[in-house]
Amino acid sequence: MSQTKVAPDFLARSTSRKMKAFRLRKVLRWWPLLIILIALVAAAFPSVLAPYNPDLTNLAARLEGPGFRYGAQHFLLGTDSLGRDVLSRVIWGVRPSVVVAVVAVLVAGVSGSTLGIVAGTIEGGVGTIIMRFADMVLSIPFFLLAILVVAALGPSLVNVVVVLALVRWPIYARVAYGQSIEVSKRESVRSAIALGARQWRVMRYHILPEVLAPLIVVATLEVGSMIVYEAALSFIGLGTQPPAPSWGSMLSEGEQYVSTAWWISTFPGLALFVLALSVNRLGDLIRDVLDPKS
């Protein structure tokens, strides 16, 4: 009698322990959110987090390695060729990356999705023209197109946002188009049309909610790419203009000192890599949640 009592109790405890471990692992999978949160805080309040002024030069402390002390100052990640604190510049560099990536994704995502839904819902000429145009934009190697446009408009952060939005909207348009063609064939949408719903109403209340999930996944993954492309444009001198700190321009400066001062390029690169990795992981996680089949 007592044995039959013990067994289920033991079993219950072991499963609850397993459940706890399982739940813990489920929570830990969301580590990218923590890093993204830190990045957002750094982008919002860089002056609070950064130990020093990122533009403060100190020619007596040029190209010093990580952990260098100069009087009361302590340069945790070393200094660059003008004696500026690398850590402070890395922290201030979060802002252009995050702002450019988020705004570019919002602009490209909203316009691309709208065009894609319109093209997928309205049959005939308009839809075909929109999607043909999207295909054409996609058939230009987009980084080269971006370089051409920024070079023509003049280098600045606003232009980088404009350009990234201009070359990336077809990605969303394609996803939205494919999905809304499928959705608009459904019984529910057809009956809405039969009941006399106007076209914009069908798109807004019947199609958009159905196509939103894949678009959110694409948008999250795109934030990761846009962070890298902002840095790439800054790296070749078309994004953030020096002396304003940005990871891309720090990498390009650090590249010149790679044989003598590895820390100048290594740390902004690491920051860029970790942030891009976190955003990409978040995109994968969101996809798993929204679409458990895949």
Partner 1 sequence: MGRFIVRRLIQAALSLFGVLTIVFFVVRLTGNPVRLLVPQNASAADIARLTHQLGLDRPLLDQYGTFLVNILHGNLGYSYVQSQPALGIVLGRFPNTVELAISALCFSLVFAIPIGFLTAYFRGKWIERLLMPVVALGQSMPAFWSGILLVLVFAVHWRILPSSGQGGIKALILPSITLGMITLASIARISRVSFLEQLNKDYVRTARTKGASTARVMVVHVFRNALLPVITMVGLEAANLLGGAVITEEIFAWPGIGQLTVQSVQSSDFPVVEAVVLVASAVYILTNLSVDLLYGIIDPRVRIKRVGSR
Residues at the interface with partner 1 (CB under 8 A): 132-133, 135-137, 139-145, 147-149, 151-153, 224, 228, 231-232, 235-238, 248, 251-252, 254-255, 258-259, 262, 265-266, 269-270, 272-273, 276-277, 280-281, 284
Q: Which is nearer to partner 1, 75 or 235 (CB)?
A: 235
Cα–Cα distance for residue pair 22/17, rounded to 1 Å? 8
Residue 246: CB minimum distance to partner 1, A: 13
Residue 201: CB minimum distance to partner 1, A: 31
DSSP string spanning 45-58? -HHHH-SS-TT---
Residue 169: CB minimum distance to partner 1, A: 13
Q: Which of 233, 259, 255 is nearest to 246 (CA)?
A: 233
DSSP string spanning 238-276? SSSPTTS--HHHHHHHHHHTTTT-THHHHHHHHHHHHHH
Q: Which is nearer to partner 1, 192 or 280 (CB)?
A: 280
**Residue 61 contacts residue 75 (beta carbons within 8 Å):** yes
Put residue 154 in one of left, alpha, beta given phi > 0 → left and psi -120 to 50 → alpha. Answer: left
Cα–Cα distance for residue pair 95/48, rounded to 1 Å? 13
Residue 165: CB minimum distance to partner 1, A: 14
Q: Which is nearer to partner 1, 127 or 207 (CB)?
A: 127
Quickly count: other Cβ atoms within 10 Å of residue 231's Cβ.
Answer: 29
Residue 207: CB minimum distance to partner 1, A: 23
Q: Which is nearer to partner 1, 175 or 231 (CB)?
A: 231
DSSP string spanning 180-200? HHHHHTSHHHHHHHHTT--HH
DSSP letter for 24, please.
H
Residue 9: CB minimum distance to partner 1, A: 32
Query: Which H or E element spans position 158?
Result: helix 157-184
Q: Which of 85, 173, 57 is nearest to 126 (CA)?
A: 173
Residue 67: CB minimum distance to partner 1, A: 19
Q: Which is nearer to partner 1, 172 or 229 (CB)?
A: 229
Q: Which is nearer to partner 1, 52 or 133 (CB)?
A: 133
Q: Which is nearer to partner 1, 21 or 148 (CB)?
A: 148
